[in-house]
Amino acid sequence: MRRMRAKEGLRRMVRETHVLPQDLIYPLFIVTGSGVEEPLVSMPGISRYSADRLPEVAREVHKLGIAGVLLFGIPEYKDHMGSSAYDADGPVQKAIKVIKDTTPELVVITDVCMCEYTSHGHCGFLTDDGQVDNDRSLQMLAKETLSHAKAGCDMVAPSDMMDGRIAYLRKALDVEGFTNLPIMSYAAKYASAFYGPFREAAESAPAFGDRKSYQMDPPNVREAIREVELDIAEGADLVMVKPAMAYMDVIRAVKERFDVPLAAYNVSGEYSMVKAAAERGWIDEERIVTELLTGIKRAGADLIITYFACEFARRL
Ligand code: PBG
């Protein structure tokens, strides 16, 4: 009987995978204005904040031992060029400064993409006939990247999936003296239905068409290897697979082939499905979240970007 009490201890002793707060990155949606904390209907527990509300949030995230935050901006204005993406007073630029002023130890990563800033909602520059112009997109992404770097971010994470962007952004950063600023590349990013709630949160749904010309086709894994290989060759310091749950084999394949740090993005749809089922009492949320995050780590992710980060860390 007494020996039975050590059962959990024994189990822990031989456990192969542990998810720790320092493995987690917490995404944050930043809006303009002040005093804003706006709960998202399709992502229960997640809010959009104005920059002035961030000191409190950042302190809490840091206190929980979470590795860092990933910032997304919802700008005041959108235009064809997505010029608000490189506005020095934009929400992300402001947020970086506020967090670095109040919680300098917290790693601040910024998502670099045009879809939140363009009136058409695509991730790059559109020509008159509605095609994404890869090379002009790179110029805009470089402006956005540099504006985040100048505001003081610790790492940039391009999520646009344009060809050649890592080399282009690396060079742009180096030329401006940001030689030590690392790049985490959304290297294998699939054209997924799991981004649904995010597009509401970030107001970034494409006005027409889809992202299939620049994001990957879900059935492909060899292509993911090629994308990761290219991004590493172009200078990516960390690489990412996104989404996570339906792509655990991709995480594993990337892990086995490459030795750079690997992140997996446990995306909005993955989060909201769990929340919705838990609200109905159909699943045990805590156990499901632990099992999911553990599965993603066991598959090979060194870092997990997840909206569950705070609640998971709070429970530990
Ligand atoms: C921007 C971007 C998206 C996500 C992260 N960066 C949306 C998209 O590609 O449509 C999705 C994140 C999530 O669903 O949680 N390109």
Q: Using one digit for the tens of pLDDT, what is the confidence trace for 20-73?
A: 999 999 999 999 999 999 999 999 999 999 999 999 999 999 999 999 999 999
Supply the CATH number for residue 162's domain. Answer: 3.20.20.70
Q: Which residue has the tokens 């904390």?
A: 37
Model pLDDT, residue 137: 95
Which tokens is 151 given? Answer: 């505001």
Distance of CA 309 to CAs 111, 128, 262, Å? 17, 42, 17
Residue 35: inside a domain, yes or no? yes
Residue 96 CA from chain centroid, whole number: 15
Q: Please check whether residue 7 lies inside any domain of the structure.
A: no
Ligand 1 binding pocket includes 239 (Cβ within 6 Å): no
Ligand 1 center–CA 14 separation, angstroms: 37
Please name the residue whose Cα sits nearest to atom 14 of ligand 1: 195
Q: Determine the atom of ligand 1 nearest the C-alpha atom of 194.
A: 14
CA distance 138 to 141: 5
* Of the listed ranges 3-12, 145-154, 172-181, 216-225, the one predicted with least confidence: 3-12
**Rounded (5°) CA angle 310-49-95:** 95
CB 242 within 8 A of CB 270: no
Domain membership flag for residue 222:
yes
The DSSP call for residue 198 is H
> Is residue 77 included in any domain, yes or no?
yes
- Under the banding of pLDDT at 50, 70 and 90, the label for residue 203 is confident
223 is a domain residue = yes
Half-sphere exposure of 311 (CA within 13 A, CB side): 15
Establish whether residue 159 lines the binding site of ligand 1, counting it when its CB lies within 6 angstroms of any ligand atom.
Answer: yes
Q: Are 26 and 69 in contact (CB under 8 A)?
A: yes
The residue behind tokens 């303009």 is 32
Q: Is 113 in the pocket of ligand 1 (CB under 6 A)?
A: yes
Angle at 181 between CA 91 and CA 250, to 5 degrees: 90
Please report the pLDDT score of residue 168 as a whole number.
Answer: 98
Q: Would 149 be classed as within a structural domain?
A: yes
Q: How many residues does the chain have?
A: 316
**CB of 26 closer than 6 angstroms to any ligand 1 atom:** no
**189 is an active site residue:** yes
pLDDT at 3 over 80: no
- Is 9 part of any domain? no
Rounded Cα distance, 116 and 44, in Å:
21
Domain with 218, as residue range(s), is: 18-315
Q: How many domains does the chain have?
A: 1
- The reply to whether 8 falls in a domain is no
Residue 2 has what pLDDT? Answer: 72
Our CA angle for 52, 110, 199, nearest 5°, is 85
Question: Which residues, other chains included, contact 201 with Cβ-Cβ below 8 Å and sequence gap of 6+?
Answer: 29, 40, 42, 43, 46, 48, 72, 268
